[in-house]
């Protein structure tokens, strides 16, 4: 019997797990670190424990013992795929909600896992420990211990291989503490198709259908759906069988995912196995009625699977969009700040798994995923229409985010026809629009919208400031006056007309208004255009490397520095050709957004 569980994770997944635990009558304890002391997952928990780090296995096991928990749920990320952590739990007599240490170890190493799968008769992508022949290109360089798309480099020719291997190895060492890399055949126009699996400790294993996760940026999923539009009943049977064979090969216990890539000819290859709950698990839940966290708990308590393969059915279609605090239009630059207004969509067939609410601070300490918007509808086309509607209704202001970007993706013809693969974004520059400037036409449209509005819609009538009629309250920065759509240069935009007490931007109707394009916070605008010659931090984070020396001549667009923010590396480029005259900050230093890192003096003509 499991009575009390320490959740060793944060954000939306910590909240998601606690919901099921409470429904099962199991006590949940939320662990939180200093930057998360006011985070939503901490505020929502009945019982909390402060910890120093989500990554410290020993501290987490000790915390679980201290609070009388008999199990630990690791969520995803952090310690969920650490064999040492699973073993430490076992040793301490605490149930680890996940697979046995040996399974995690075998699957955590991408090379070793491929060998295991080959032996089990599951097709794998060809790979090399040494240099591939020239005819083998293009190839991918991958981290042996990789995850989350980090440490992956596409290499087109032998000449680029060395550089790519060095940079992948560096990123892998920083991200996973393991610098080993390998080279794998790059499959052209692949779809990413994965199968949810469940295994118990009595030798039973089943799959819970597929998820298509081909819409990716930087090898990381952003939109997922099930069923896959590429699937036929025959292919599903074959791939499902391979997934179950993979699970059996490692005597899998718990919920896991077997990832494949599918080439345009219908051939599929094992990519890796994730020995944990996946970010995109809700779409499986929406179409099957299963609660995967509940299944995890039942399995961890020693129970037998309560379903046979033939008991499972999928009904309708589900799509998930990952809401990130990042600007897709600016090379997916992560964004930080305080969420001022958060009004998620509601209505039939909509689920929101969120780690934030109005007032939440988005910092550079963690991954920029804020929430997951999931829809269900009877058919794929109805699910797309519902997702479009839901994204339109989603009001998130204060932190720049990708809502409008997701909206543009799901509205493309290729997405509608299911014509997707992992290169989708490369082929659709149309979904990236230039950074937004407020054109005069927008002001006109806004003033028009205003004059048509009878009475103003106050955010606090429905939002977090409900019942507060006192507009002078110091903690209410905005008043939402109106929102509407407008077409500008052929693109559809949504505008919010906000009244902000402390700024004077636009003079309309005798009042002071501040106009924000949809789902873009305001603060970042000011720092968006650096003076030529200055290299500024594009976001708060850490300066990793400075690639130039004082006095050095640089070419326009030459890489001059590398920053890290929210676990991602971003390269900064010289805006003009010139000479480096001043280096203001050193590698390893923490920098604020907009801070000048170095100056490049323009060449005199
Ligand atoms: P991670 O563990 O970092 O998520 P994966 O091995 O799962 O890395 O790969 C991430 C993504 O990279 C895949 O979903 C796919 O889009 C792409 N990818 C990985 N391997 C290949 C390959 N051999 N050929 C083409 N694309 C690949």
DSSP assignment of 396-417: EESS--SHHHHHHHHTSHHHHT
Provide the strand spans (E) within 360-457: 361-362, 369-377, 395-397
What pLDDT is recorded for position 299?
A: 97
pLDDT for 333: 85
CATH of domain 192-432: 3.30.470.20
Q: What is the pLDDT of residue 532?
A: 57
Question: Residue 138: is the preceding peptide bond cis (ω within 30°)?
Answer: yes
What is the distance in A from the centroid of ligand 1 to the CA of 271?
7
pLDDT value for 24: 98
Average pLDDT of the residues in 188-204:
97
Contact in structure between 138 and 186 (CB atoms under 8 Å): yes
What is the arithmetic mean of pLDDT over 85-91?
96
Stretch 410-420: mean pLDDT: 96
Q: What is the pLDDT of residue 508?
A: 29
Across the range 90-96, mean pLDDT stands at: 97
* Range 265-284 average pLDDT: 96
- The fold of the 126-185 domain, in CATH, is Dna Ligase; domain 1 (3.30.1490)
pLDDT at residue 480 greater than cutoff 90: no
pLDDT beyond 60 at 504: no
Confidence bin at 484 (pLDDT 50/70/90): very low
**CB of 418 closer than 8 Å to CB of 312:** no
Look at 470 and 272; give whichever has higher pLDDT: 272
Distance 422 CA to ligand 1 centre (A): 9
Q: Which residue, by CA, sits nearest to atom 2 of ligand 1?
A: 147
Query: Which residues pair with residue 310 across a beta bridge?
Result: none
Q: What is the pLDDT of residue 108?
A: 87
Nearest alpha carbon to residue 530 among 579, 600, 430, 466: 600
For residue 63, pLDDT beyond 90: yes
Q: What is the pLDDT of residue 539?
A: 67
Percent of the chain surpassing pLDDT 90: 61
Mean pLDDT of 315-341: 89
Nearest-atom index, ligand 1, CA of 269:
23
Tell the residue nearest (CA) to atom 1 of ligand 1: 147
3-state secondary structure of 182: strand
pTM of the predicted structure, to 2 decimals: 0.78
Calculate what percentage of the chain has a pLDDT beyond 70. 82
Which of 3-7, 220-224, 251-255, 327-331 shows the lowest per-residue confidence on average (mean pLDDT)?
327-331
pLDDT reading at 102 higher than 50: yes
Distance 420 CA to ligand 1 centre (A): 15
- For the segment 427-448, the average pLDDT, to the nearest whole number, is 52
* 148 CB near ligand 1 (under 6 Å): yes
Residue 21's pLDDT is: 98
Question: What's the rounded Cα separation, in Å, for the pair 578 and 576?
Answer: 6
Q: What's the confidence (pLDDT) of residue 593?
A: 67
CATH number 3.30.565.10 given to 534-602: no
Give dist(CA 541, CA 335) in Å, integer.
Answer: 11
Q: In angstroms, what is the span from residue 59 Cα to ligand 1's centroid? A: 33
Atom number in ligand 1 closest to CA 271: 6
Q: Residue with the nearest Cα to atom 17 of ligand 1?
A: 219
Of residues 320 and 397, the one with the higher pLDDT is 320
* Number of the ligand 1 atom closest to the C-alpha atom of 188: 25
Residue nearest ligand 1's atom 18 by CA = 219
The CA distance from 587 to 55, in Å, is: 24
Whether 114 is in the pocket of ligand 1, judged by its Cβ within 6 Å, is: no
140 lines ligand 1 (CB under 6 A): yes
In this structure, of 253-267, 348-362, 417-431, 465-479, the range with the lowest mean pLDDT score is: 465-479
Assess whether pLDDT exceeds 50 at residue 437. no
Residue 447 has a pLDDT of: 37
Please state, in angstroms and rounded to a whole number, the distance separating the CA atoms of residues 400 and 409. Answer: 17
Ligand 1 centroid to Cα of residue 221, in Å, is: 10
What tokens were used for 109?
């190493």
Q: Residue 605: its pLDDT value, please?
A: 52
**CB of 216 closer than 6 angstroms to any ligand 1 atom:** yes
Please state the rounded mean pLDDT for residues 491-517: 39
Q: In terms of pLDDT, which residue wins out, 73 or 490?
A: 73
User: How far apart (Å, rounded) are the C-alpha atoms in residues 84 and 75?
Assistant: 16
Whether residue 445 has pLDDT greater than 60: no
Q: What is the pLDDT of residues 570-580, one digit of tens each?
A: 788 887 789 99
**What pLDDT is recorded for position 530?**
36
Distance CA(590)–CA(153), nearest Å, equals 27
Atom of ligand 1 nearest to the CA of 185: 23
According to the model, what pLDDT value does residue 409 have? 95
Kindly tell me if the per-residue pLDDT of 507 is higher than 70. Answer: no
Query: Cβ(259) to ligand 1 under 6 A?
Result: yes
Kindly list the domain boundaries of the chain, sorted by start residue. 4-97, 126-185, 192-432, 440-520, 534-602
Q: What CATH code would you report for 4-97?
A: 3.40.50.20
**Residue range 556-576: mean pLDDT, rounded:** 81
Does ligand 1 lie within 6 Å of residue 272's CB atom?
yes
Pocket test of ligand 1: the residue of 149, 210, 218, 264 to mutate, having most ligand atoms within 8 Å of its CB, is: 149
Q: Residue 428, Cα to own-chain centre: how many angstroms? A: 20
Q: Whose CA is nearest to atom 12 of ligand 1?
A: 219
Q: Which of 114, 271, 278 should be mutated for ligand 1, with most atoms under 8 A from CB? A: 271
Ligand 1 atom 23, closest CA: 186
Best-predicted range by mean pLDDT (201-215, 429-443, 581-595): 201-215
Between the CA of 323 and the centroid of ligand 1 the distance, in Å, is 21
> How much is the pLDDT for 4?
98
Which of the listed residues 215, 219, 567 should we mutate to test ligand 1's pocket, taking the one with most ligand atoms within 8 A of CB?
Answer: 219
Q: Which residue has the higher pLDDT, 498 or 232?
A: 232
pLDDT tens-place string over residues 5-29: 999 999 999 999 999 999 999 999 9
Question: What pLDDT is recorded for position 69?
Answer: 98
Q: Active-site residue numbers?
A: 276
φ and ψ at residue 530, rounded to 5 degrees? -70, 150
Mean pLDDT of the chain: 83
Alpha carbon 389 to chain centroid, angstroms = 21
Mean local confidence (pLDDT), 380-409: 89
Same fold: 126-185 with 192-432:
no
> Looking at the predicted structure, is the pLDDT value of residue 470 above 60?
no
pLDDT category at 429 given cuts 50, 70, 90 is: confident
């Amino acid at each position: 019997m499991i009575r009390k569980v320490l959740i060793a994770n944060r954000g939306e997944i910590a909240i998601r797990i606690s919901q099921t635990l409470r429904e099962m009558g199991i006590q949940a304890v939320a662990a939180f670190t200093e930057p998360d002391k006011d985070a939503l997952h901490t505020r929502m928990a009945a019982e909390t424990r402060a910890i120093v780090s989500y990554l410290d296995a020993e501290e987490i096991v000790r915390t679980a013992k201290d609070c009388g928990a008999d199990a630990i749920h690791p969520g995803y990320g952090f310690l969920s795929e650490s064999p040492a952590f699973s073993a430490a739990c076992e040793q301490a007599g605490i149930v680890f909600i996940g697979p046995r240490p040996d399974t995690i170890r075998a699957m955590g190493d991408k090379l070793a896992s491929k060998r295991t799968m080959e032996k089990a008769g599951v097709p794998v992508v060809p790979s090399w420990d040494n240099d591939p022949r020239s005819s083998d290109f293009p190839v991918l360089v991958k981290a042996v211990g990789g995850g989350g798309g980090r440490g992956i480099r596409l290499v087109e020719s032998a000449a680029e291989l060395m550089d790519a291997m060095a940079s992948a190895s560096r990123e892998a060492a920083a991200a996973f503490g393991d610098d080993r890399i390998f080279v794998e055949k790059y499959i052209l126009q692949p779809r990413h198709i994965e199968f949810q699996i469940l295994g118990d400790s009595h030798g039973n294993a089943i799959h819970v259908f597929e998820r298509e996760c081909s819409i990716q940026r930087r090898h990381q999923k952003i939109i997922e759906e099930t069923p896959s539009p590429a699937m036929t009943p025959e292919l599903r049977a074959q791939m499902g069988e391979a997934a179950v064979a993979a699970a059996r090969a490692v005597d899998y216990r718990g919920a896991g995912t077997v990832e494949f890539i599918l080439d345009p000819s219908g051939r599929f290859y094992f990519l890796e196995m994730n020995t944990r709950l996946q970010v995109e698990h809700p779409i499986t839940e929406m179409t099957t009625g299963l609660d995967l966290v509940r299944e995890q708990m039942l399995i961890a308590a020693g129970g037998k699977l309560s379903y046979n393969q033939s008991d499972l059915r999928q009904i309708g279609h589900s799509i998930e969009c990952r809401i990130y605090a990042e600007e897709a239009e600016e090379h997916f630059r992560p964004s930080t700040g305080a969420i001022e207004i958060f009004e998620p969509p509601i209505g039939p067939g909509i689920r929101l798994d969120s780690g934030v609410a109005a007032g939440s601070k988005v910092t550079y300490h963690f991954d920029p995923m804020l929430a997951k918007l999931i829809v269900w509808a009877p058919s794929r086309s109805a699910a797309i229409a519902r997702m479009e509607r839901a994204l339109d209704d989603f009001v998130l202001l204060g932190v720049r985010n990708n809502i409008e970007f997701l909206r543009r993706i799901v509205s493309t013809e290729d997405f509608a026809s299911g014509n997707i693969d992992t290169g989708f974004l490369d082929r659709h520059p149309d979904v990236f629009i230039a950074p937004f400037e407020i054109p005069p036409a927008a002001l006109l449209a806004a003033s028009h919208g205003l004059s048509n509005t009878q009475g103003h819609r106050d955010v606090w009538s429905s939002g977090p400031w409900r019942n507060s009629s006192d507009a002078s309250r110091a903690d209410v920065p905005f008043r939402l006056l109106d929102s509407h759509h407008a077409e500008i240069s052929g693109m559809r935009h949504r505008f919010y007309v906000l009244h902000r007490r402390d700024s004077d931007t636009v003079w309309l109707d005798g009042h002071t208004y501040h106009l924000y394009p949809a789902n873009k916070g305001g603060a970042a605008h000011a720092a968006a255009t650096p003076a030529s010659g200055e290299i500024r931090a594009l976001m708060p984070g850490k300066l990793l490397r400075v690639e130039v020396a004082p006095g050095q001549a640089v070419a326009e667009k030459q890489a001059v520095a590398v920053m890290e923010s929210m676990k991602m590396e971003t390269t900064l480029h010289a805006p003009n050709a010139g000479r480096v005259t001043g280096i203001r900050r050193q590698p390893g230093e923490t920098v604020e957004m907009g801070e000048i890192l170095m100056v490049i003096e323009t060449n005199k003509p």
